Amino acid sequence: MKNSKLKFTTLPLLSLLALTLLLTACTTETPDTTEPGPRPPTTQEQTAWVPNDDLTEQQLIFMYDLNYMLYILENNFAVMDVAHWAYGLDIHQVVNSIRQEVIQNPDMDVDDFFVTLSRELTSSGLIGFLNTLNPIMHSNWLTGNAPGIFRQDNVMEFYRPRHPEEPEDDYARAYRILTTHGEGSILHFARRLEIVSGETDLAADILRARDEGDIYLATSLAAEAFHLTADAPAIHTEIIEDGRIAYLGINWFDLNRRIDVHNFYQEIRGFEHLIVDIRAVETGDPRFFFDVIMRPNLRNDVTINGFGFATSGEYMQNVLNPLRLGREIFFFDTYEFGDAADIVANHDLPELALWDIERMTYGFRLEKTLTPDHIGGRPAFNGKIWLLTGPGTIWGAQLATWVSRASEFATHVGEPSGGNFGGGVRSFAALPLTGILIHFEPLYITDEQGWPLEAGTAPHHLNYPGLNALETVLVLIDEGRY
């Protein structure tokens, strides 16, 4: 959108030039992190870009914000190294690429800068939830006429609770609906805007579509997403072989479909095999998997252990304080919060990539116990359960995959899951001059062996050559390999 009303802070050219030159001349001493703010660039930054008099004031603004973003990610984005070795996303190369685009385009405006930044950060997928929230679209959507809503001084105001007696217009109502269960919903909504309304009045269209039943709102504690009910039902069931093999396909985790799944259990009682397909699950409430798929079918209690690591960056304090108190994080209890080195020394973590946690200061242990919740005093399904996974099995579905595999609840078939799970915790950092909001997961979460969940979970059986996961599991059943 070229006609943006976004306003951002501008500094006099000479002052900004002097400030940027000062930044690039600084050494890499440990900075004072008492207050979030621009920090000296790394050595790699200094060699990547040297300011010059040919850059416009606006170009210098973008360069300054890039320096700020890189510093924040280096000190707070826990899975930066996983993003590099697992997915090929090198944040330094991304920033250098954006710098070159800025230098080559003196007419770049803040909209162009946002598009470039968003495209490059998500070039390898939504790794560690790293992406941008558009200050233009969201400010106009939420308030109708309040540019700069995502500027640093307005970020907290954006998330403040609305007083019950405040008048609520359509924009406020849309915001309330979308954020009932967590700020992550804003991201999911933004990524699915075109499904609903294109470039029309977003708030009005989303409310109209929801009220008329054209879309379905799937809620979770971590995020919300909109799905077209006709094209993407939450679940679908099928009898593959009468009396023997049943199929339960899941597109997103929706606790409102609990009764439908329980009815399906009744229909297939006495079958030998149940195939649960979560290859396409990107969102929803993981408790659906725990409470509707796992617990009705558990024979005994199962306890899952994992580990987490975090930096001491300035955007980490609100994340770390609950962990220090041993509070629950994304359905897991936390224990042994302390130095990362002590966690590594006190536990056997053979799959832990030590270079990944060189930047980590803190560590903790995760624990979750699931108890059986039987229907009529016995497991809902008494046969063999298979779980199909793939690259589309991400976020909450990655959590479900890890718990299932660690507890040996089901035999996994397909491809490694897509990962992208960092404990369901989100951090935000506003770039100070453009007001663009950077969104990322600040925790490094591993399974009981130390393998990062961001990198996915391998199945028991990979797809046979030329076959997909469903075809492969049917061959395995025919071969009696279970």
Angle at 254 between CA 250 and CA 258, to 5 degrees: 90
Q: Name the one residue in this structure whose structure tokens are 């708030």.
A: 203
H/E stretch holding 259: helix 258-267
Name the residue among 427, 188, 407 with its Cα closest to residue 304: 407
Q: Which ranges of 90-131 would DSSP assign to H, the alpha helix?
A: 91-104, 110-121
Give me the mean pLDDT over the 200-216 stretch.
44
Within the chain, what is the greatest distance between any pair of CA atoms? 78
Residue 367 has pLDDT above 80, yes or no: yes
Residue 364 has pLDDT above 60, yes or no: yes
Quote the number of domains for the chain.
Answer: 2
Structure tokens at 103: 């230098």
Higher pLDDT, 109 or 226: 109
Q: Does 240 share its domain with 110?
A: no
Final residue of a structural domain among 126, 143, 168 = 126
Residue 39 lies in a domain: yes
Residue 183 lies in a domain: no
The answer for residues whose C-beta is within 8 angstroms of residue 462's C-beta and 6 or more apart is: 414, 415, 472
The answer for residues whose C-beta is within 8 angstroms of residue 423's C-beta and 6 or more apart is: 308, 329, 330, 332, 441, 443, 445
The pLDDT confidence band at residue 365, using thresholds 50, 70 and 90, is very high
Domain range for residue 86?
Answer: 13-126
Sheet holding 362-370, edge to edge: 333-339, 362-370, 302-310, 444-446
Least confident of 4-18, 266-280, 412-426: 4-18
From the CB of residue 264, how many other CB atoms can be counted at a distance below 10 Å?
21
Higher pLDDT, 1 or 300: 300
Question: How far is Cα 162 from Cα 256, in angstroms, rounded to an integer?
Answer: 27
Q: How many residues comprise the chain?
A: 482
Residue 144 has pLDDT above 80, yes or no: no
Q: Does 253 share its domain with 111?
A: no
DSSP assignment letter at 294: I
Question: How far is Cα 49 from Cα 69, in angstroms, rounded to an integer?
Answer: 15
Final residue of a structural domain among 73, 104, 126 = 126
Q: Does 258 share its domain with 112?
A: no
Condensed to tens digits (0 to 9), the pLDDT of residues 222-232 reads 223 333 333 45
Residue 169 lies in a domain: no
Residue 393 has pLDDT above 60, yes or no: yes
Tell me what pLDDT residue 422 has.
Answer: 73
Q: Does 283 share its domain with 406?
A: yes
Final residue of a structural domain among 86, 107, 126 = 126
Tell me what pLDDT residue 38 has.
Answer: 41
Tell me what pLDDT residue 413 has.
Answer: 98
Higher pLDDT, 249 or 216: 249
Higher pLDDT, 271 or 193: 271
% of the chain beyond a pLDDT of 70: 68
Residue 304 lies in a domain: yes
328, 330, 335, 339 alpha-carbon torsion, rounded to 10°: -120
Tell me what pLDDT residue 98 has.
Answer: 94
Condensed to tens digits (0 to 9), the pLDDT of residues 229-243 reads 334 578 999 999 999
Q: Name the one residue in this structure whose structure tokens are 């269209």.
A: 205
Residue 25 has pLDDT above 80, yes or no: no
According to DSSP, the β-strands at 215-218 and 225-228 are: antiparallel
Question: How far is Cα 151 from Cα 435, in angstroms, rounded to an integer?
Answer: 4
Name the residue among 177, 155, 223, 176 with its Cα closest to residue 438: 155
Least confident of 96-110, 127-141, 143-157, 401-415: 143-157
Give me the mean pLDDT over the 203-209 stretch.
47
Average pLDDT, the chain: 74
Q: Does 252 share its domain with 116?
A: no
Amino acid at 68: Y
Residue 245 has pLDDT above 80, yes or no: yes
Phi and psi dihedrals of 467, rounded to 5?
Answer: -115, 150
Condensed to tens digits (0 to 9), the pLDDT of residues 51-91 reads 566 889 899 989 999 999 999 999 999 999 888 888 888 99
Tell me what pLDDT residue 24 has.
Answer: 45
Name the residue among 279, 252, 248 with its Cα closest to residue 264: 248
Question: Could you tell me if 72 and 429 are in contact, meaning their C-beta atoms sit under 8 angstroms apart?
Answer: yes
Residue 409 has pLDDT above 80, yes or no: yes
**SS3 at position 377:** coil
Q: Does 122 share its domain with 264?
A: no
Tell me what pLDDT residue 141 has.
Answer: 36
Amino acid at 154: N
Question: Could you tell me if 45 and 25 are in contact, meaning their C-beta atoms sit under 8 angstroms apart?
Answer: no
Residue 82 lies in a domain: yes
Question: How far is Cα 206 from Cα 171, in angstroms, rounded to an integer?
Answer: 10
Q: What is the pTM of this model?
A: 0.72
Q: Name the one residue in this structure whose structure tokens are 């992550």.
A: 184
Residue 57's Cβ-count burial label (10 Å; 0-12, 13-18, 19+) is middle
Tell me what pLDDT residue 255 has.
Answer: 87
Task: State the CATH number of the domain containing residue 291.
Answer: 3.90.226.10
Q: Does 463 share its domain with 342?
A: yes
Tell me what pLDDT residue 316 has.
Answer: 83
Give me the mean pLDDT over the 204-209 stretch.
48
Structure tokens at 114: 């946002």
Question: How far is Cα 194 from Cα 300, in angstroms, rounded to an integer?
Answer: 45
Residue 273 lies in a domain: yes
Tell me what pLDDT residue 52 has.
Answer: 60
Q: Does 464 share its domain with 328?
A: yes
Residue 100 lies in a domain: yes
Question: How far is Cα 286 from Cα 283, in angstroms, rounded to an integer?
Answer: 8
Question: How far is Cα 35 from Cα 101, in angstroms, rounded to an integer?
Answer: 31
Higher pLDDT, 383 or 215: 383
Name the residue among 92, 135, 39, 115 with its Cα closest to residue 437: 135
Condensed to tens digits (0 to 9), the pLDDT of residues 166-175 reads 555 444 444 4
Q: Does 409 share its domain with 282?
A: yes
Residue 198 has pLDDT above 80, yes or no: no
Phi and psi dihedrals of 436, rounded to 5?
Answer: -70, 140
Contacts 24+ apart (CB under 8 A), 314-322: 314/33, 314/34, 314/35, 314/36, 314/75, 314/76, 315/36, 315/72, 315/75, 315/76, 315/427, 315/428, 315/429, 315/442, 316/76, 316/427, 316/442, 318/427, 319/425, 319/427, 319/442, 319/443, 320/362
Tell me what pLDDT residue 53 has.
Answer: 61
Question: Could you tell me if 80 and 91 are in contact, meaning their C-beta atoms sit under 8 angstroms apart?
Answer: yes
Higher pLDDT, 252 or 135: 252
Question: How far is Cα 12 from Cα 8, in angstroms, rounded to an integer?
Answer: 13
Residue 336 has pLDDT above 90, yes or no: yes
Which residues make beta-bridge pairs with 384?
273
The pLDDT confidence band at residue 285, using thresholds 50, 70 and 90, is confident
Tell me what pLDDT residue 458 has.
Answer: 94
H/E stretch holding 334: strand 333-339
Q: Does 107 share its domain with 244?
A: no
Tell me what pLDDT residue 167 has.
Answer: 55
Residue 139 lies in a domain: no
Give me the mean pLDDT over the 319-346 stretch.
88
Question: Could you tell me if 149 and 135 are in contact, meaning their C-beta atoms sit under 8 angstroms apart?
Answer: yes
Give me the mean pLDDT over the 368-372 stretch.
95
